[in-house]
A and B are shown apart, each in its own frame.
Chain A
């Protein structure tokens, strides 16, 4: 059906126009009324979601994919840069999910940020972020992808530092920019390599021309970019620090969409990686290390948002492991299912924080199951999905990943770490539920606890439906491109379930100890976990201090000292002094000196004559 392409193109363009229009209309108005954000931006995102469903259904029904090239932007000799959109399975599936999650978050934010005088600007920032994310996801060339990449990075900076008068928020925003900037170096290197060696930034051309080349260097650049953006080990501290931003920002950017942009990049460029064992092994090792390390850090955190942030980092490590297994489809499936339950967890934490008058410490929560039942139920559903409870969204992706792990030829230690991290995921999830929902309240009874507001319950319910149904719908609707292993021994099939239950049981046992034993002095490994492996402490103190001190010393002292003293007057003085001293010492009338000089000169003359 030729008209399918027209329908697909039109609905995609309509989606884009609906998203972009509030940004421009806001410029036309002199001042925006108080409810502008709700009437315009939230409504725009909602409508865009519904219009984006049409390409999704068309794609699932007929398998239609499309590449739209509509503008020859820059053409230099044989190198073309066009604006082109790739509407394939990845973008057609991700865009509605991102819009659905954003719709829920915007509705929630209209309540959460109600008291903020700049709420319209806040919503505009979120919308610009969403547009940049859609640009990244639908890009058919690396330049457009880079525009989206940097766009989401900048908006992340602006939104983390939303409360800019707070020094910690400023520091966190700077951290995010610097760490992601290190990753951007990798991406720019890859862009340069591709421009010089593949002579194109278009995806299709890159996939074909890269087949015969050694791709180690650009793939390492891509992996570095993903490490920065998706908070893998080494460039991960920005993600827990980013919790300084408002909760809607954490829910949208730092859990569902931006943080997975690095993984999405690797999924999009997986045809380049699939035949490169070095890159795949690097992804596997990096992902396994990240998932375990961040899970260990999450175990002892007391800030509810930090627990969920480390959980995000851990799941992004799991996605990296999946890419290392050469299963990009499974990684993408996990991106999609993860978006639902992680956003829901953040929204629940936002409700709890507001309900307890900005209390974020889980040691000062408790018994909320009876006070805010919808929120705590959604928190529980989200945690169960995160653990991979059968038939929730997380199960379909996580279980498939663990099965693929067990059936693959891979590094044994990576397998062990990933299984351990899966088990510990259950542990910290239970710890969070135990402290927040169960037992008795540990907060003053003065907090105005109320969740009887549509702006809270409607988004949570929508995301809960997504958490329950999304995994099933996605796996039923789409056949995986690589056939999964269908027959395996029972112990392999049940591994994920067994280790999750094991982690849960151990965590429950330990939780019961908290009511009975006296507190003890923390051990060294407790400090290792609480202080995030000492990584931020060491990296944020040693290197900045060393480089700042070195640059200051070189700039203000060493250069001047070198050029004005050492290369001129003082060196000449010391040289002259040493020469004069040596010469006058020689001529002090000592016989030994005269005889040694005589014989040395004699030897030199003889040798010169001889040669």
Chain B
């Protein structure tokens, strides 16, 4: 009688596991690995679809995005890949009422509300589209006009600088004629000094 050959149990288990996976029996470990999905996240039918061409498609898209049909407006179909995603107003979260009882007060957003395509640009830490007391053109003209005026004046200030009056040093006794070895018998040249 021949001794029993040792069997590689790990190999046996692996073969059974691979067979179960390929058969798609969805039982045991394969069901755990492949069948478990989170309850959150996008489902296939809530992902953006193609551009809606018929009124029925528009209505279905509006329902999908939780918007009224009258408010639903997709992006123009220019091959940019928006599909049926709604074109929401270009307004930031800062413009929303700070006192309303939002579901997410820090985001100023309710649950289920459609998100803007550029929502990350419109969060409260970023672009603020709230109206300003002064028009954009007026603001730009004033700010850049101010900067331009300052630069011009600084340029003129460099051309015409400010300084205290200075003059060459003035020495007494006819510019120290005798001290510099001048002839004592001769009359020195008269030196006129000016008071500064």
Contact = CB atoms under 8 A, between A and B. Distances in A.
Contacts of B140: 534, 538
B80 interface: yes
A548 B118 contact: yes
Contact of A552 (B121, B150, B153): B121
Interface in A374-416: 406-416
A556 interface: yes
Interface stretch (B20-28, B47-55, B125-133, B175-183): B125-133
Contact of B121 (A165, A534, A548): A548
Interface in B90-148: 106, 118, 120-121, 124-129, 132-134, 136, 138-140, 142-143, 146
A531 B133 contact: yes
B161 A412 contact: yes
B121 A545 contact: yes
Contacts of B118: 548-549, 552
A411 B162 contact: yes
B127 A548 contact: yes
B132 to A, nearest CB: 6
Contacts of A167: 106, 124-125
Interface residues of A, number: 44
Contacts of B128: 540-541
A171 B165 CA distance: 52
Contact of B139 (A170, A413, A534, A545): A534
A414 B155 CA distance: 10
B154 interface: yes
Contacts of A288: 154
A549 B134 contact: no
B7 interface: no
A285 B143 CA distance: 17
A538 B139 contact: yes
Contacts of A79: none
B158 interface: yes
A168 B79 CA distance: 38
A281 interface: yes
Given A413-B156, A413-B157, A545-B127, 6 more contacts: A411-B162, A548-B118, A548-B127, A549-B121, A557-B80, A561-B80
22 contacts: A167-B106, A167-B124, A168-B124, A171-B124, A289-B150, A289-B154, A408-B163, A411-B154, A412-B156, A413-B150, A413-B156, A413-B157, A414-B157, A528-B146, A531-B133, A531-B139, A534-B140, A534-B142, A541-B127, A560-B81, A561-B80, A561-B81
Interface of A: 165, 167-168, 170-171, 174, 281, 285, 288-289, 406-416, 488, 492, 524, 527-528, 531, 533-535, 537-538, 540-541, 544-545, 548-549, 552, 556-557, 560-561, 565
